[in-house]
Structure 1
Amino acid sequence: MIDAHIHLEQYLEGQSPEALDSMLQVLPGQGIDKLIAVSMNLESCRRTRQIAALHPQLVKPAYGFHPEQPLPSGTELAALLEWINQHGEEMVAVGEVGLPYYSRAEALARGEDFDMEPYIRLLDILLEAAARLNKPAVLHAVYEDALTACALLEKHGITKAHFHWFKGPRKAVELMIERGYYISFTPDIVYEPEIQELARMYPPQLVMAETDGPWPFEGPFTGKSTHPAMIHEVAAVWGSLHGYSPAQAADLLTANTLCFYGL
């Protein structure tokens, strides 16, 4: 299988490079063939590229700027765009990019103002780069933010979009299905009824599996370090919702990921 969305370089924050290397070395024996390694910012892009260079068959890098953090300065953004342009051929997508739903919600809950316009402009710029390089976009855009992201994707003529760990209103779901955008499910499909309902609704041919590691999960995963092999459990539960065996589900989700990322 393929973990369609993982922050691989962030595993270095909790363990040594040797420990990460050991984890990656044994993944094929655990039924994990590839990882789509997304990036948070320019420094994250650099670390992701270093890991991918050591494991070129296993790790497929994506470069971008995660929206749930302070905006980059003009100089930082220019450097990131230059990096994306320079390494466009080796990356499988522009990502992770999107809109800051959770940061905005937290700020508003504290009674603070939150200006979305700079983040929308940033996403517009990054999607323009994806369109110019003819690369898919990996999106962090949930709930009502998904509709804004859809409008920007249409503006730039991007048809290959992956909304990772997606949650959103029916209007957004229907629009995304109509346009053929992909979504991916994390281990929370095992224990979240809301996510299971979305899984029943979304066309099987537009679905992938991810961990978003090292982000931790609850339910049966409480207290466990997030590991790419958890996508086997994602596949089994997703498959049960559609009448597939675990092996059939794993094969279909893997085929979808190979197709989307052109691997």
Structure 2
Amino acid sequence: MIDAHIHLEQYDWEAIDHMLKELPEKGIEALLAVSMNLESCIRTEKLAAKYPGIVRPAYGFHPEQPLPKADELKALLEWMEYSAGDFAAVGEIGLPYYSRTEAFERGEDFDTEPYIDLLDTMLGLASRLAKPVVLHAVYEDALIVCDLLEKHEIQRAHFHWFKGPEEAILRMIANGYYISFTPDILYEAEIQELAMRYPPELVMAETDGPWPFEGPFAGHSTHPSMIRDVAATWGALHGYSPSKAEEILTANTVKFFTL
């Protein structure tokens, strides 16, 4: 299988070596390693060079952090243009739902417009480079992101760990956008309901590691092999055997990222 979304460079580097060496015996072929900013992109690039074919890099700017300064954004965009032939997708990019929500809870203002402008710029780059995009866009933010995807005529869009309103779900399905499920599909009823209705041909499996999970994974470090549990649970919801579910999700991932 292929972990469709992991922050590999955020793991301890010794742990990465151990984890990647044991992937074959755990049934994992590759990882789509997303990035947070330029520094993160460079670390991901080094991992991709050390583990060719296993680490498939994605470069971008994660929205749940302060906006980059103009010179920082310029450097990132130029670096991505220069590296265009070496990465699988633009990501992680999107909108800061959680940062905005936390600011409102503290009674603070939060201006989303600069983040929308940043996302617009990143999607423009993805369109020019003909790259798929990996999106952090949940709840009402997904509708804004759909507008921008349509503006840039981007078809290969992956909403990772998606949660959102009915309007967004219907629009995403109509546009053929992909989503992915994390290990929380094992214990979250809301996620299971989404998994039952989203078209099987538009679904992938991810860990979003090193993000920790609850339920049967409580107290365990997030490992790419957990996507096999994701596949088994997703498959059971649709009446597939675990092996058939793994086959479907892997084929979807290969198709989306053209791996």
TM range (shorter): over 0.9
Q: Find the residue that maps to 2:32 and give its secondary structure.
A: strand
Amino acid at match of 1:251: E
Distance in 2 of aligned mates of 1:18 and 1:152: 39
1:75 and 2:110 correspond: no
Partner of 2:150: 154
Is 1:3 matched up with 2:3?
yes
Return the alpha-carbon distance in structure 2 between the equivalents of residues 95 and 88 of structure 1.
13
Match of 1:62 in 2: 58
1:4-50 per-position Cα deviation (integer Å, ceiling 9, x unaligned): 000000003xxxx2331121011011100010000000000000000
1:211 Cα shift? 0.0
Task: Tell me what 1:191 maps to.
Answer: 187
Residue 108 (structure 2) aligns with:
112
Following the alignment from structure 1 to structure 2, what is the Cα–Cα distance between the partners of residues 136 and 154?
Answer: 13
Partner of 1:209: 205
Cα deviation 1:162-191 (Å, max 9, x = unaligned): 000000001000000000000000000000
The amino acid that maps onto 1:221 is F
1:155: Cα distance to partner?
A: 0.5
Aligned residue pair count? 259
CA-based RMSD: 0.6
- For residues 114 and 5 of structure 1, what CA distance do their matches in structure 2 show? 28
* 1:245 aligns with one of 241, 246, 250: 241
What is the letter of the counterpart of residue 7 of structure 1? H
Structure 2 residue matching 1:208: 3-state secondary structure: strand
Distance 1:184 1:69 in 2: 23
Provide the secondary structure at the position in 2 that maps to 1:89. helix
TM (norm. structure 1) is: 0.98
Q: What runs of 5+ residues in structure 2 fail to find an aligned partner?
A: none
Partners of 1:22 and 1:51 in 2: how far apart?
13
Q: After TM superposition, which residue ranges in structure 1, 4 or more long, deviate above 4 angstroms? A: none
Instruction: Select which of 219, 243, 255 maps to 2:215.
Output: 219
- Matched residue SS, 2:58: strand
1:57 offset after TM fit, Å? 1.2
The percent identity for this pair of structures is 69
Q: Tell me what 1:41 maps to.
A: 37
Amino acid at match of 1:261: F
Distance 2:151 2:15 in 1: 43
Q: Distance in 2 between matches of 1:68 and 1:252?
A: 31
